[in-house]
Amino acid sequence: MGVFSATPITVVLLLSFAAPLVVISVFSIMPQKVFNFAHLPDFSSYGVLLSQGYYRSLLWALGMALVSTVILFVICWPLAFAMAKVFDKFTTVITVVVVITLFVSENIRLFGWVLTLMKGGLIEGHLRAWTGLSFEGALYNVPVIIFGLVYVYFPFMLFPLAQGISTVPEEARQAAADLGATRWQVFIEVDLPLSAPGIVIGSLLSFVLAAGALAESKLLGGQAVIVIADEIETAFTYGQNWPLGSALSIVLIIIIGTLAIFGVNRVDLDAIMGRKS
């Protein structure tokens, strides 16, 4: 009876999540540039991935995701801490302001930054009009892509962190200080380990989203670097090479999936919260 009741949702899940994965995995072992499964499997797509330097796009995407995640952690921690422990009603204000930015589509917000940062844009244009000084716009380089990633994925780090920090018992922090710990030692010995669930969730969300991000490198970065998501899109569209796109996707999914599973397992949430032996 239970199995029967679960049938509809099982079908939906299979069709919406499992089926695309199966299709992509199978396509990734088809010969180059075919559009059906009626071929003998080969691994030529994976060979192309290595020989034609696609791994560089992958490394760029993962590297920039890593850097932006670290930056996000560093700049979100103080704010998240204040939201969880210091601010009272002001926390709601911050939450609302940050959430409201999510109501506007990511691309539109990024275009806003393009207009702000480009040559002749908001900043450079004003500077030139007022002082006569000019500089090349701040766009089309790696740092501005990372800035874009940090900007877009800010809420995905902030809220899990604040949630994690709010679960740290205030008395544990006071007791650590009372036993001689400096602020830094309280941070290392109490805050970090006890808010680890929030840190892991926030970091995984930011990293996974940033690694698969496309708009930041396209809009802000121009052609400075090509990220893996860009390559995948190109392979499926202009490239007309579905097997290559599938192979790229599979590699990305495997890397990110491994990281996610490793991260969640490594930080045993139950053990940290003292629920498990």
Partner 1 sequence: MPSDPILRLEKIVKRFGRFTALHGIDLEIQDGEFLTIVGPSGSGKTTLIRLLVGIDEPTEGQIWLRDKRIEKIPANLRPTCMVFQSLALFPHRSVGENIEFPLKIRGESVSARKERTLELLDLLHLPRDFCDKRINQCSGGERQRVALARALAFDPEILFFDEPLSALDYRLRKTLEKELKDLHERTGKTFVYITHSLEEAMVMSDRIAIMREGRFEQIDVADVIYARPVSRFVAEFMGEVNLIDVEANAEGQLKGRNIDLKVDGAGQSSILTLPQGGTGTLMVRPEYVRFLNPDETSDFSVNGVMHAEYALGSRMQYSIETANDSVFTVEKLREHRFTGQMSDEVVLGWDADNAHLIPDNISK
Using CB under 8 A, list all residues that contact partner 1.
169, 171-172, 174-182, 185, 189-190, 193-194, 271-275, 277
CB-based contacts of 209: which residues, under 8 Å, 6+ apart?
A: 153, 156
Closer by beta carbon to partner 1, 197 or else 245: 197
Q: What is the dihedral of CA 160, 163, 169, 173, to 10 degrees?
A: 50
Minimum Å gap between C-beta 194 and partner 1 is 6
Yes or no: say if 149 and 65 are a contact pair by the CB < 8 Å rule: yes
Query: From CA 252, how far away is CA 242, in angstroms rounded?
Result: 15
Minimum Å gap between C-beta 110 and partner 1 is 40
Closer by beta carbon to partner 1, 62 or else 190: 190
Q: What is the dihedral of CA 129, 131, 134, 135, to 10 degrees?
A: -110
Closer by beta carbon to partner 1, 108 or else 170: 170
Yes or no: say if 206 and 69 are a contact pair by the CB < 8 Å rule: yes
Minimum Å gap between C-beta 188 and partner 1 is 10
Q: What is the largest CA-CA distance in the chain?
A: 78
Minimum Å gap between C-beta 81 and partner 1 is 18
230 closest CA partner among 66, 64, 23, 19: 64
Query: From CA 99, how far away is CA 50, in angstroms rounded?
Result: 41
Closer by beta carbon to partner 1, 130 or else 184: 184
Closer by beta carbon to partner 1, 190 or else 252: 190
Minimum Å gap between C-beta 89 and partner 1 is 16
Chain length of the chain: 277
Minimum Å gap between C-beta 177 and partner 1 is 5
Encoded amino acid at 59, one letter: L
Yes or no: say if 276 and 268 are a contact pair by the CB < 8 Å rule: yes
Closer by beta carbon to partner 1, 105 or else 182: 182
